[in-house]
Structure 1
């Protein structure tokens, strides 16, 4: 059983520049850095947690040689939040690429779409899933 401290699903995002992504994820989006493993100057593996629950793993594009690797900048991640407008304001003030300004979806959720430092799209919204 998973809880907010130990997410049961860990999306994994590959970055060309994981150090720049670390700063973006924590300072712009508001994730909390919980683990960073370096291989020299490169982030080999890192984990961040969302204050409202869940977490994301990320790292540089080396990965496991037997696993297919996603192309950096082509991923889409959805994050539940009670206040997508606050995430939007932080991202806007930081000069982030706003893909979709805050909007109310026909199914009742409020969402915002923001591209991270390498173009992955993150949707922050009030829909917590069915």
Structure 2
């Protein structure tokens, strides 16, 4: 159990699907610094991947292929968006740019005290990064 001043461990895992999941995994590790924890699947197909974020939490992803239009859990590749906390947004923006991310919003200061930037991965997903850790509970 946590108190009001301690954040609980992550229990919400954003998910996405990709046309080329293995390539997207490599990109997210190289460009943004996610850590590959597990990848299940054969050949080009990824049934499940867990990428952990060094500061806590992470994301899960898999291949969009072989999912029919009636699959209730199917997601359109390139429609995902997330906000990820980082202590060094300017440095991370340069890393992402060098790895081929399309920076859609250069690093900037928000009116609520955060330093943010936004980028799109090769599948078109929107990743926002910044120093804002959320309001205290």
- Judge same fold: TM > 0.5, yes or no: yes
With the length of structure 2 as denominator, give the TM-score of the two structures. Answer: 0.85
- Number of corresponding residues: 127
Which consecutive residues of structure 1, in runs of 5 or more, have no partner in the other structure?
Answer: none
Q: For 1:111 and 1:126, locate their aligned partners in 2 and report how far apart those are by CA, in whole Å.
A: 7
Tell me whether 1:106 sits opposite 2:111 in the alignment. Answer: yes
Query: Of the candidates 40, 47, 58, which is equivalent to residue 50 of structure 2?
Result: 47
1:89 match: 94
Deviation at 1:93? 1.2
Query: Of the candidates 111, 121, 124, which is equivalent to residue 119 of structure 1?
Result: 124
The residue correspondences of 1:1-130 to structure 2 (distance < 5 A) are 2-3=8-9, 7-61=10-64, 62=66, 66-130=71-135
RMSD value over aligned CA atoms? 1.7
More strand by share: 1
With the length of structure 1 as denominator, give the TM-score of the two structures. Answer: 0.89
